[in-house]
Structure 1
Amino acid sequence: MSTVLTGRRFEEVAVGEPLPEVALPLTVYRLVMAAGSNRDFNSIHHNTEYARSTGAEEMYANTSFLMSSWERLVRDWCGATGRIRAIRGFRMRSFNFVGTTMRVLGEVTATRIEQGPDGPVGVVEVAVRCEGPTGITVGPGTVEVLLPVDTSQNEESA
């Protein structure tokens, strides 16, 4: 039995290409589930009164949830054929509070082909950031993605 992977190929990518935005409404339910799923039981992520007692205006999303939002953006765009190699520049600038909608945005900033152990591989750099009602809340940073390269053109000309 074989598995067919679907998704983007390196040849389909262009520098300047925007990734489809991911909008995440930050509900109490979502933040509670995120805190439980990544075992971050700090009350600032699921308890309004406690968060306010620490000086925050409301409970807010945790680091693992925010990093996973970057991965979601890139994986939705590249599909199962892509592999995330690196995340750089992930920096929280301000809180992503419950009751707001966090937007995750990205754009292809660079592409290149590298020689991998199994042949050429396409490397795509995507600039990613999270935005809330007051502007950028996380990033900007870079997610480096590996995509398959169509080698059939080289084989035909050989």
Structure 2
Amino acid sequence: MTRAYDEVAVGDTLPELPIPLTRTSIVATAIASRDYQDVHHDPGLAVERGSRDIFMNILTTNGLVDRYVTEWAGPAAVVKAIKIRLGVPNYPGDTMVLTGTVTAKHDEDNRVEIAVRGMNGLGAHVTGTAVVRLPSKDAT
């Protein structure tokens, strides 16, 4: 079901989305995004380069933010922009919890801005903003 622009208000919160951070998911998503940097799949080399273990790549984080927003917005929503900033790494064995809040609405083109945050056991892994265009209530 697609969320309608008219049904969304500034201050609305999106439901939390916990993402288990498994070694397999970190390696598989790095490979799927064609990021073959060894810090995303080789624990020994990641440690040699100063990390405590392999860690999630930014392309995966960006994709997870997109997934989070579009699952909330629905299939008729159009993602117009995602701007993120990475913080602490996502390491295997932890969980990242994505949260979001509607921060602005633009009536002229049905755009909604959402502040997004992904927290893990070390702190904020990702912070940013997503902008989606939602259909009007009569169009859903």
For the criterion TM > 0.5, the same-fold answer is yes
User: CA offsets per residue over residues 42-92 of structure 1, 9 Å max, x none?
Assistant: 11011211111111011100011000111011011011011110112x111
Q: Which residue of 2 aligns with 1:43?
A: 38
Q: Distance in 2 between matches of 1:36 and 1:55?
A: 21
- Which residue number in structure 1 is paired with residue 121 of structure 2? 133
1:9 touches 1:147 (CA, 8 Å); kept in 2? yes
Q: Judge conservation of contact 1:20–1:73 (CA < 8 Å) in 2.
A: no
Counterpart for residue 58 of structure 2: 63
Tell me what 1:103 maps to: 97
Unaligned runs of 5+ in 1: 1-5, 115-120, 153-158
Secondary structure, in 3 states, of the residue corresponding to 1:138?
Answer: strand
C-alpha displacement of 1:150: 3.4
After superposition, the CA RMSD in angstroms is 1.3
The alignment partner of 2:62 has SS state of helix
State the partner residue of 1:117: none
1:76-115 equivalent positions in 2, closer than 5 A: 76-88=71-83, 90-114=84-108
Q: Does 1:72 align with 2:75?
A: no
SS at match of 1:126: strand
Looking at structure 1, the residues matched to 41 and 102 of structure 2 have their Cα atoms a distance apart, in angstroms, of 34
TM-score by length of 1: 0.83
CA distance in 2, matches of 1:25, 1:149: 34
Structure 2 CA distance for aligned equivalents of residues 81 and 20 of structure 1: 19
User: SS of 1:148's equivalent?
Assistant: coil
* Aligned residue identity for 1:105: T
Which sections of structure 2, spanning at least 5 residues, go unmatched? none
Aligned to 1:148: 135
The aligned length equals 139
When normalised by structure 2's length, the TM-score is: 0.93
Greater gyration radius: 1
After superposition, the C-alpha distances for 1:127-157 in whole angstroms (9 at most, x for unaligned) are 0111111221211x110110011358xxxxx
Report sequence identity in percent. Answer: 35
State whether residues 9 and 81 of structure 1, in contact with CA within 8 Å, keep that contact through their aligned partners in structure 2. Answer: no
